């Protein structure tokens, strides 16, 4: 082998080695994974949103699902999250005011509180049915950590029913647990998010009725960890798009834009 040919071979090997080293040193923020912390009420719509986004962008999106309050605590304690999708505006505003956000929160949609049962109760008069003696257990999310729980509590108080029904209330740590209680008939009835009962997996299960004047503004926050990731910024921008808003609408949300 001539000296010139040997030099070319060594040059090629050196080039390949450099490429391998550079790939192994790729920053975490540039790897094709986004971590999203999302309120339990958004679990089903988030699955649909991720599917729609992945039809265009090959990005792995890892979802951490829990109550908005618990997710806020995790983020405060340093959980590696790029985007926070809350069931209210309170928690994202709190995190932003405490220096966790890359920019002010954005309202992505308005949710709706509903009364849901898999039983045959007459829901035509709304929460008045909860007084019925045949109803012994009513599920709501924990008001301390779940926005829909806080809204449920406030609604029952507004209707002068909270004190009368307090002994019947079964608290779920999140809307997810409330839905499990209702769907498995561990309780007779419950107050939950419309986005849940409109999901294809649960649509047509039992019956539900909207509770008047219970629209809930819901916002999201691009966290400082996510601002340096073009992937996270891309998905955050998609959630504000017309396409995403159509998907939110299919799950019972009103537009945030």
CA 142 to chain CA centroid, nearest Å: 16
8: tokens are: 């070319």
Report the alpha-carbon distance of residue 185 to residue 30 in Å, rounded.
45
Q: Is 206 left (phi over 0), alpha (psi -120 to 50) or beta?
A: left
Q: How many helices (H) and strands (E) does the chain have?
A: 11, 9
- DSSP per-residue string spanning 14-67: HHHHHHHHHHHT--GGGSSEEEEEEEGGGHHHHHHHHHHHHTT---EEEEEEE-
Binding residues: 41, 68, 175
135, burial (CB in 10 Å: exposed 0-12, middle 13-18, buried 19+): middle
Considering only CA atoms, which of 136, 140, 104, 105 is closest in space to residue 119?
136
Report the alpha-carbon distance of residue 128 to residue 107 in Å, rounded.
32
Report the alpha-carbon distance of residue 78 to residue 141 in Å, rounded.
25
Binding residues for molybdate: 41, 68, 175
């Amino acid at each position: 082998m001539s000296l010139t040919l040997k030099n070319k071979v060594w040059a090629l090997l050196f080039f390949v080695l450099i490429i391998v080293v550079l790939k192994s040193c790729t920053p975490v923020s540039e790897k094709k994974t986004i971590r999203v912390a999302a309120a339990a009420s958004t679990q089903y719509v988030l699955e649909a949103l991720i599917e729609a986004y992945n039809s265009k962008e090959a990005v792995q999106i890892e979802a951490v699902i829990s109550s908005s309050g618990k997710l806020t605590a995790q983020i405060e304690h340093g959980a590696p999250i790029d985007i926070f999708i809350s069931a209210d505006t309170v928690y994202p505003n709190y995190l932003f005011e405490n220096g966790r956000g890359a920019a002010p929160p954005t309202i992505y949609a308005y949710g709706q509180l509903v009364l849901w049962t898999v039983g045959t109760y007459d829901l035509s008069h709304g929460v008045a049915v909860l007084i019925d003696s045949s109803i012994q257990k009513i599920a709501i999310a924990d008001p301390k950590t779940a926005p829909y729980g806080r809204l449920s509590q406030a609604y029952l108080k507004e209707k002068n029913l909270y004190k009368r029904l307090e002994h019947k209330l079964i608290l779920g740590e999140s809307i997810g647990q409330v839905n499990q209680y209702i769907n498995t008939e561990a309780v007779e009835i419950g107050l939950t998010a419309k986005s849940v009962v409109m999901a294809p997996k649960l649509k047509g299960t039992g019956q539900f009725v909207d509770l008047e004047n219970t629209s809930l503004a819901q916002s999201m926050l691009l966290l400082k960890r996510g601002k340096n990731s073009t992937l996270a910024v891309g998905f955050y921008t998609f959630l504000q798009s017309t396409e995403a808003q159509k998907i939110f609408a299919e799950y019972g949300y009103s537009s945030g834009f």
